[in-house]
Amino acid sequence: MNHAETDQWQEAAQHLLAVNRPEQAERLVRQHLAQHPRHAFAHVVLALTLFRQQRLLEADEAANSAIRLNPQESEAFYMLSLVQANADKAALAETNIREALRLSPINSKYLGTLAWILNATTRPTEAKAAAEMGLRYDPAHVECLTQLAQAQELLQQWDPLLSTLHYLVSLRPQSSVAHQWLGQEALRREEYTQAQAHYQEALRLDPTNSKVHQGLSQTLRYQSKIGRLAHGLNRYLTFVSEGTKNRVLRAWGHFFLILIPLSLLCIPLLLFLGFESLYWRLHPEVRQLRNRPAGAPSYLRETFYRYGAVVSFVFLLVAFLPPVIWIMLKLGFPDSALGPGLTGGLTILVMSIGQALKSAAEMPLPDKSPAGWLLLATLVLVASLGSSLWSALWPWGPPAVLVSNGLLFYCLVRGVPFTQAGRTLR
């Protein structure tokens, strides 16, 4: 094969990929393969062009073809690993990137990819070691630095993380992701002015990045006293809620300490959190930030889709109270005995609402409208109140509503994204 010809098609394909024209690069590579079908590296480049088009099955096949033609081609194993990682086949991806490293041990690109896979499978200690080894070979390797920062974040090594991020920005000052990360870290440290500066730079570099919009919006929120107060309250309630679930003794101590005050103040607290949320959304800078391109869904629609399921969840939760109280009274429980139960119930209700709102805010925007669930939950709440207050529906009305509400609540919790946790490879 003529080397000048080989260099020419490879350079042309790489240029087309660099200018984001993978379809044209694919055609060029296929033309070359028509004349040289056993050229292993050409199959690797073909896999790359298909990968860039998200045609993962075809890319997998092309990478395997390259391996069959040349089992010593480390780039083929690297390419196959990338494809499998993006197809959520983490174990296979790790096996193949380790094979690429066996064939070419001193390769920062392969070590960065291994670190990425290890981070994505929640093995930050191993990921950190792989990224640091890659940086020993190439101290300015961006992927290794990125994965080192990711591992440091997962390990909560905050000071080393900050140093890594500053070095990353010095190497890639035009990287929106690096500035976004610095903004996120400044926000965690409650350095709101610095966070705003980094998020604004990230927004300038990537105006359509929704995570940057969200981060900048949160920064503006916490710069006001009322926002910081709500943030502190939210953080405290989250500590108590998560701590009690994880059997943390200190959290249980706080739970019993605030049980009565929280139940007495639950309505004012909910009103305060609602007011703060509305105040934040109506802030002039936040409203300006939320001006989106034509064709984007309205903010009202986005809010309805994001929090509609949470409101349904709350309505169904509240709908349990009237029939439960009615049944307890019918069983002979004295009125005075209901106080502690209501106190605990209202406390749990407030904490559940706060956790659900927080989870919904962090989840991707649902595609499906929650209108059906919201209407159904409203009807159930009305039926719950009516069956408990209207004597004509006694004695079967309240128990029937309680059972049907329990079934609906179970279905909603099983189907709503904010109650599910999952992690996928990027």
pLDDT digit string (tens) for 87-132?
999 999 999 999 999 999 999 999 999 999 999 999 999 999 999 9
Q: Are 182 and 213 in contact (CB under 8 A)?
A: no
Residue 4 reports pLDDT greater than 80: no
Cis peptide before 395 (omega within 30 of 0): yes
**DSSP string computed for 89-143:** -HHHHHHHHHHHHHHS-S-HHHHHHHHHHHHHTT-HHHHHHHHHHHHHH-TT-HH
Each domain of the chain, given as residue ranges in start order, spans 232-291, 302-426
Q: Across residues 136-142, what is the average pLDDT?
A: 94
Give the pTM: 0.62
Q: Are 73 and 66 in contact (CB under 8 A)?
A: yes
Write the burial class of residue 104 (CB in 10 Å: 0-12 exposed, 13-18 middle, 19+ buried). Answer: middle
Give me the pLDDT at residue 78, please.
96
Q: For residues 183-211, b (16+ Cβ closer than 10 Å) or e, as one string?
A: bbbbbeeeebeebbbbbbbbbebbeebee
Tell me which of 199 and 314 has the higher pLDDT. Answer: 199
Our CA angle for 253, 257, 259, nearest 5°, is 115
Average pLDDT of the residues of the chain: 82
Tell me which of 25 and 425 has the higher pLDDT. Answer: 25
What pLDDT, in 10s, does the model give residues 145-186? 999 999 999 999 999 999 999 999 999 999 888 999 999 999
Residue 412 and residue 377: Cα distance in Å, rounded? 10
**DSSP string computed for 357-395:** HHHHHHSPPPSS--HHHHHHHHHHHHHHHHHHH-GGGTT
Residue 295 reports pLDDT greater than 70: no
Residue 70 and residue 345: Cα distance in Å, rounded? 66
Residue 46 and residue 30: Cα distance in Å, rounded? 7
Angle subtended by helix axes 397-415 and 299-319, to nearest 10? 140
Our CA angle for 12, 17, 23, nearest 5°, is 95
Give me 7's structure tokens.
């260099």
Residue 59 and residue 43: Cα distance in Å, rounded? 9
Residue 419 reports pLDDT greater than 50: no
Write the burial class of residue 232 (CB in 10 Å: 0-12 exposed, 13-18 middle, 19+ buried). Answer: exposed
Under the banding of pLDDT at 50, 70 and 90, the label for residue 418 is very low
User: Among 80-84, 89-93, 278-282, 414-418, which stretch is predicted with the lowest mean pLDDT?
Assistant: 414-418
Residue 363 and residue 352: Cα distance in Å, rounded? 16
Q: Across residues 379-389, what is the average pLDDT?
A: 84
- Kindly give, in sequence order, each residue whose CB lies less than 8 Å from that of residue 64, ignoring residues fewer than 6 positions away: 80
Through-space distance between the first and last CA atoms of the chain, rounded to whole angstroms: 38
Give me the pLDDT at residue 354, please.
67
Q: Residue holding tokens 């679930």?
A: 245
Under the banding of pLDDT at 50, 70 and 90, the label for residue 426 is very low
Q: Are 234 and 358 in contact (CB under 8 A)?
A: yes
Q: Across residues 197-223, what is the average pLDDT?
A: 87
Give me the pLDDT at residue 27, please.
93
Residue 353 and residue 316: Cα distance in Å, rounded? 12
Tell me which of 271 and 373 has the higher pLDDT. Answer: 373
What pLDDT, in 10s, does the model give residues 301-354? 777 787 787 788 778 878 887 888 788 777 776 655 555 556 566 666 666 666
